[in-house]
Structure 1
Amino acid sequence: MVVKVYVDLLSQPCRALVIFLKNTKIPFEIEKVNLKAGEHKKPEFVKITPLCTVPAIQDGDFSMGETVAIIKYLATKYADLVPDHWYPKDLEKRARVDEYMAFHHTGTRGGCCGIFISEILISLFSGGKEHASEERLKIDTENLTKQLDKLENVFLQDNDWLAGDDISVADVLAVSEIMQNTVNGRDVTEGRPKLRAFVDRVKDRLNPTFDEVHEALYAWRDSYEK
């Protein structure tokens, strides 16, 4: 049975899920959902996930949304098709990955996505009529700094990977967020050699798949008017 994966590859969580899947033997096919065109609100998509968010999956008669939940489901159901380092079976090793994923939404994603919304999306979705206030930009910048400090000092410390001695879904989730801010030229790893080395390490480990999945983001970055 082939798992249908509904994604918009301009979305950070969607890219993370697809990269994960491409590094497993889980049979899947991609169904593209254009967020900007509102396709995630169409009745046929609402049947897949009433949350109206991407990514989402359809696995036989079962469907669901939410990236972390999807990854846990797929890694558990198709455990024999997923290299163990992605989401380890060992309880303590898995707990470290879960620990990062519990932090991720308000941590790495909260910091990186907050400033991305303020610097890009507010203007984009208002047709250039609205812009983030200086106060909002200040708050988002401070939060970005705080969350990246935690990423470096708590999860990375002196480690190569965020949640163990090998790459896991934690690393892919984090780097997918970090890459989003490159659209308008912001490098959140600037002045952070440990974080930059980590991002490069993840890219090197996953290429050419990493760049293939990020093609849409790279095209957006190349066309973005700075």
Structure 2
Amino acid sequence: MGLELYLDLMSQPCRAVYIFAKKNGIPFQLRTIELLKGQHYTDAFAQVNPLRKVPALKDGDFVLAERKYKAPDHWYPQDLQTRARVDEYLAWQHTALRSCCSRAMWQKMMFPVFLGQPVPPERLASTLAELDGCLQMLEDKFLQNKAFLTGPHISVADLVAITELMHPVSAGCKIFESRPKLAAWRQRVEAAVGESLFQEAHEVVLKAKDMPPLMDPTLKEKLKLSVQCLLH
């Protein structure tokens, strides 16, 4: 059996993996794991990933896909200085942009609509202010006047960043409207990966606002506990 990717396209990293594999012609079988239905808690998925996290891959003896499949150098350059710029961004975004983007989505939409748990307005306002600060840092430190975050070509840094930013967008945050530089960068990223693929990868999350409230009390408590930190 070939490469199997266990993904939920509600997840930012899963969307990045999905776009990367599709864009680079890496053949895979999609195994959808719906986090909001608790499918990552099942014993069957624990056999794939005991940590019960996505994205996950299964490829024979778990050979890492990036070592087996060829992709253009610009995604993760061999040049050490350029690669260091990609690594720098990835390290920053995981502790900064990822946190506030996730909290913005959950506090603005998922907790009140999906879980029926209102978030205090002052807490949401604080999260949105933090998000605005991160967006400013993204522009000033990383994008600057470049076409992409690390130079003239798209890299995994751009892919990780754009899938992260679509989280608050799905909740109705107008993060690009007052930031023309960031909006132009988004257009370049979409064009580089292909607009149809970009829309395909984000179709699920952009429809999240239309999901009915979760009714299963057991699953609701599990989800609340797993994302409780996002309230703070």
Question: If the length of structure 1 is used for normalisation, what is the TM-score?
Answer: 0.86
Structure 2 match to 1:67: none
Contact 2:59 2:65 in 1 (8 A): no
CA contact (8 A) 1:16 1:172 kept: yes
How many pairs align?
211
The alignment status of 1:35 with 2:35, answered yes or no, reads yes
1:74 aligned residue: 65
Q: 2:153 matched to 1:166?
A: yes
SS at the partner of 2:35? coil
Aligned match of 2:78: 89
- 1:195-210 alignment to 2 at 5 Å? 195-207=182-194, 208-210=196-198
Correspondence for 2:59: 59
Q: 1:112–1:177: 8 Å Cα contact kept in structure 2?
A: yes
Offset, 1:218: 3.4
Shift of 1:9: 1.0
The match for 1:213 among 197, 201, 204 is 201
CA RMSD for the aligned pairs? 1.9
Alignment of 1:186-197 (within 5 A): 186-197=173-184
Q: Does the 8 Å CA contact 1:96/1:163 hold for their aligned counterparts?
A: yes
1:132 aligned onto 2:132: no
- The answer to whether the 8 A contact 1:111-1:145 is kept is no
Q: Please list every run of 5 or more consecutive structure 2 residues that lacks an aligned counterpart in the other structure.
A: 213-232
Name the % identity: 40
TM-fit CA distance, 1:20: 0.7
Q: Does 1:155 align with 2:142?
A: yes
* Structure 1 unaligned spans of 5+: 64-72
AA of the residue aligned to 2:75: W
Name 2:109's counterpart in structure 1.
120
Task: Find 1:181's aligned residue among 149, 160, 168.
Answer: 168
Correspondence 1:102 to 2:74: no
When normalised by structure 2's length, the TM-score is 0.84
Shift of 1:224: 6.3
